[in-house]
Structure 1
Amino acid sequence: MALTTVTHIPLALARVLPPRVSFRFRVLREGEVTAGGKRVLFFRNFAQIGQVCIAFATEDGEFTRYESILQQALNDQGEWLVIGYDDAAPKKIRAVYLTITAAGTYTFNITSGDGGAAGDPGTLDARVRVDKAAVSREVLVVEKPSSGQWRVAGYGSVADGDGVIDVRVTDGDCYAIGLDDWGVAFAPNLPVSEEQVIRPTVFLGWTYRITQAGVLPAVEPDWWDESVIGPQLIGTARAEVSRYYQPIAHGPLPIEGV
């Protein structure tokens, strides 16, 4: 009988490491990059404010090193109490609640929320159409930073339907709001010029664009709607009806840095 030799080969079991998330912070002061050290500290809650769980410090005044944290630890915690501070005079500190779910660079703005012209410069391409036609209108850009306090990031007029709006942004999402021409309210004997927009004192959805310069009447006229075609006489001027469009917002929109 033949003997068979069986060799036992130990199996090397691969160790499966639990997933981790690596992230860091870009730390700003009032929306600006400033020199000097800044710190971002993580706490589980306000009651445990004396126990720092995760700490970040800027190395060049702007970026911190990456920290690698267990994904499960981040999931279990959910919302962290995060405090950022800068000891440069005048000292500033800001506390927010943050949830970290993915790897990357997060912007933390140590701001008093006073607004102003703070932020990184950028531009937004604006395109305005009314009934598919290119028109000149004003565009307002607003930002909702991580502080939750909305701020105006920029505004400007777009000539002939296309233009570029200069903005200053911090760490939030931006939205562009297109504003139709609200015109000026009717006033007795008001001199008006061509292309000026007049708004009735009792607004019903229509404005009136002056097609011939002149002077408005002493008594407000009976305004008409779009069923009346063509310019109509009001005082010594002429005007045609124009629908007023409520402001329309688009976003969040990408901002191109400069």
Structure 2
Amino acid sequence: MTGAVLANRAAVPTHVSPPRIAVRFRLLRDGEVTPGLKTLRFYRNWATAGKIDAVFQAEDGEFTAVQSFDLATLLAQGEWLVAGDDPAPPRRTRASYMSFGASGTFTYNITSGEGGQQGDPGQVSGLVRVDRLPANREIVLVERPADGEWRLAGYGPTPDGSGMLDVRVVGGDVYALGLDDYGVAFVPDLDVQVGQRIRPTRYAGWLYEITEAGQLPAVEPVWWAAQGDNPSQPLGTARAVARRYFQPIAHGPIPVEVI
């Protein structure tokens, strides 16, 4: 009887906790460390602002406590609406969308809105092609004014391969950088969704785009290169196809339409 009981106990599978990451924030006001309570609140979007998903607070200093989050939930949401509040007179508040894919300390500047907004408003036409086909990419625009000190002029996506990007310029030369999606580093047992990209821990030129949702394997697999029609292959219980990563490409100077 004792032997039978022990055998039954041994047959119970071991529970595997889903991958998690640790996040904390460095909270600044107008780019500086200031005393007093500061608060960050996480929402999925403005439509669900009545439901707070997480709260970070810095009681009297610059760093919040560390919080642990389910990585799959963060990645499935993609961008989170993060709203910061500093009640010290004159009160300051700011909201922005942020993405999280790894543990770390993230700087959040609760600013009055003046920082980084110098210059005349303008627009730049963005057009991206990959292998001669329209592609959605993140475009970053930098400007080199007469004093030679580089500055960020603007950034934005190119949905369906094109779009108008808002900028702030001070009369210098503007250059555009097109950035590909570098994906998320492989994490064992991670739940993944269609469209997410996974990057091997030893990157060798290929990323792996999820075509069927599921869970990554417990052990990093032998990665493969795209061949022929590039069919999807199993990646744990998910499936994925190999995608070439295109390194950033810069163009410029480019014309800016000042508004």
Superposition TM-score tier, normalisation by shorter sequence: 0.5 to 0.7
Equivalent residue for 1:223?
223
Output the CA distance in 2 between the equivalents of 1:217 and 1:209: 15
User: Secondary structure in 2 aligned to 1:160?
Assistant: helix
Q: Is the 8 A contact 1:115 1:151 kept in 2?
A: no
Following TM superposition, by how much is the alpha carbon of 1:137 offset from its aligned partner in structure 2, in angstroms?
A: 1.1
Q: Deviations over 1:155-188 (max 9, x none)?
A: 0111110111100000210001000111111101
SS in 2 for 1:167: strand
Which residue of structure 1 aligns with residue 241 of structure 2? 240
Distance 2:249 2:235 in 1: 31
Cα displacement (A) at 1:115? 6.9
**Do the aligned partners of 1:224 and 1:241 also contact (CA within 8 Å) in 2?**
yes
For 2:217 and 2:179, locate their aligned partners in 1 and report how far apart those are by CA, in whole Å.
28
Report deviation, 1:133.
1.1
- C-alpha distance in 2 between matches for 1:147 and 1:115: 19
Letter of the 2:247 partner, please give it: Q
In structure 2, the residue corresponding to 1:182 is in which secondary structure?
A: coil
Superposition pairs of residues 82-231 of structure 1, within 5 angstroms: 116-227=116-227, 229-231=230-232
How far apart, CA to CA, are the structure 2 residues paired with 1:249 and 1:225? 27
The answer for the alignment partner of 2:251 in structure 1 is 250
- How much has 1:227 moved relative to structure 2? 2.5
TM-superposed CA distance for 1:136, in Å, is 1.1
Is 1:177–1:247's contact at 8 Å kept on the other side of the alignment?
Answer: yes
Corresponding letter in the other structure for 1:256: E
1:86-119 alpha-carbon deviations (Å, 9 max, x no partner): xxxxxxxxxxxxxxxxxxxxxxxxxxxx972101
Output the CA distance in 1 between the equivalents of 2:157 and 2:188.
29
For 1:172, the aligned partner's letter is G
The residue matched to 2:246 in structure 1 has which SS? coil
Deviations 1:5-57 (A, max 9, x none): xxxxxxxxxxxxxxxxxxxxxxxxxxxxxxxxxxxxxxxxxxxxxxxxxxxxx
Q: Tell me the residue number matched to 1:83.
A: none
What is the SS of the residue equivalent to 2:123?
Answer: strand
Specify the SS of the correspondent of 2:125. strand
Match for 1:132: what amino acid? R
User: Which ranges of structure 2 fall in alignment gaps of 5 or more residues?
Assistant: 1-113
Give the aligned residue type for 2:134.
Answer: A
Q: Distance in 1 between matches of 2:163 and 2:196?
A: 22
Moved over 4 A (4+): none
Partner AA of 2:146 in structure 1: S
Counterparts of 1:115 and 1:223 in 2: how far apart (Å)?
Answer: 44
What SS does the corresponding residue of 1:203 show, helix, strand or coil?
coil
- 1:145/1:171 contact within 8 Å kept: yes
Identical-pair percentage: 56
Aligned residues: 145
Contact 1:232 1:238 in 2 (8 A): yes
* Worse overlay, 137-146 or 115-124: 115-124
Q: TM-score, normalised by structure 1?
A: 0.55
Query: Could you tell me which amino acid in structure 2 is paired with residue 150 of structure 1?
Result: W
Gaps of 5+ in 1: 1-113
Within 2, Cα distance between the matches of 1:172 and 1:115?
A: 19
SS in 2 for 1:238: strand
In 2, the alpha carbon distance for the partners of 1:246 and 1:196 equals 18
Q: Is the 8 A contact 1:142 1:150 kept in 2?
A: yes
Residue type of the partner of 2:184? V
Aligned twin of 1:31: none
Work out the CA distance in 2 between the residues paired with 1:124 and 1:171: 14
2-structure distance, mates of 1:224, 1:164 = 37
Alpha carbons 1:142, 1:153 under 8 Å: kept:
yes
